Each structure stands twice: as C-alpha cells, then as structure tokens.
Amino acid sequence: MPKGIHGAIICALLMLGASSGAGAITTITPFSGSVASSVTPTGGGTWTYDYTVTFDLGELINDGDAIVSFDIPYFSDALITGITSPAGWAHSVEDIGFSDPANGWTGVALWQDPLDPNYQGPTSPYTTGDQVLHWYATGPGGGIPPGGSLGGFGYVAAYPGTKAPHQLAFTSILGDVTLTGDPLIPASPSVTAVPLPASLGVMILSLAGFLLTGAARRRMP
C-alpha cells in the first residue's frame, strides 16, 4: 500500500477513535504479545509447566482488541496431565490441518510455515508434528486486553522443558493477527529425537548390506 494512503487510513482511524468514546484508539506501536514460561520439578518424576501470556500493546489498538487463543505443539508421549485454564478460557487438543470453529481453532500452526521466524526446518518435530494444545477464550470479553497479562495456563508432564514455538491469536481493528514465539514444552522422545542426515542413512544401509553379504559368503560350503 502506498505510504500516503496508509497514512490517510491511520489518520481516519484516529479521528474515528477520538470521536467514538469507548472505542477510542489508545496507541500506535508495533503489535506484539509474549509468553513467559516456567518449569518446576515436582520431585515425583514429573514437572509442572506454567505460562503467562501478555498483550504487549500494538498497532492501532482499541478497547476491543484482545488475545483470544494460545497454542503450543502437543506430543502424546509427553504424558501431559492436569491441564489448567484461567477463568474465561478452556483448552482442547487440536489436529493441525483441520479447523475446529467451535473452539476457535483455524487448523494452522504458523511455526510450520517456512516464512515464519520460528520455523525450525523441514525435519524438525515441530514442523512434522500434527497436534497442538490449544487454549481459547470462551466468550466476549474473555480475551487478554491491551497491556494485560494472564496466568493460569499449565499442566503436568513427564519430561523437563525445552524451547518450542507457540502462537498467539489476536482480534484486532486491522483484522485477526497471529504471532509466534518460543516458550518451554516437555522434551519428550518425539521432540528430542534427531533424524539422521540422508547421506549418513545411505552409508549405514550400505555398510549393513556389505556385512550381510560377507556373512552369507562365509556360510557358503
């Protein structure tokens, strides 16, 4: 969009906000949100995960803008139990690639997009994984407003933490916005398994074939 048109739109929106009372625009800053995570050992071979989500203000914010969902990769072998949600929120385990409008899930995990800054590469378990743990606001006014923070997102898991991508969805005067980041999730076997490079895999298969051929020759009369 040409800069002049963009500036005109901003001015028009500012004038609209200034005249609309409760819907007034409060700031023009980079649109941003963040997630703080902590992992605490329970002493019983499990770890407690806690997350706090913050709306760090944003571009053309008005009092209707809010963070309305929070997603992290989900792997069943992390043995997650006791999932908690703050008041006004609920949670579900959702399949990537399949939307669930009733729970506000679009089916998209942006960290799997090669253009996303938190993309981990084509062989990463975060890219090949097929589920998310999805927290979502259950009604109007339940989202996190500009400048607000909300804790109470959490669970217990069988593994300590490792950094992983996440995404936050916003409702905004500019339309729906999604941002990603990197809090901690359980370092389960699905997450920590490192795939072999293709060249190394071929070499191992070739060596195995050579050894089997040699063994077969030694057994021949």
pLDDT for the residue numbered 203: 39
Residue ranges for the chain with pLDDT beneath 70? 1-31, 57-64, 172-180, 194-221
C-alpha torsion 80→93→73→112, nearest 10: 160
pLDDT digits (tens, 9 = 90+) for 32-45: 788 999 999 998 99
pLDDT for the residue numbered 220: 46
Residue boundaries of the structural domains of the chain: 27-219
Tell me which CATH homologous superfamily contains domain 27-219.
Uncharacterised protein YcnI-like PF07987, DUF1775 (2.60.40.2230)
pLDDT for the residue numbered 69: 94
pLDDT for the residue numbered 109: 95
| β-pair type (47-55, 149-157) | antiparallel
Geometric angle at alpha carbon 164, from 161 and 168, rounded to 5°? 120
pLDDT for the residue numbered 141: 78
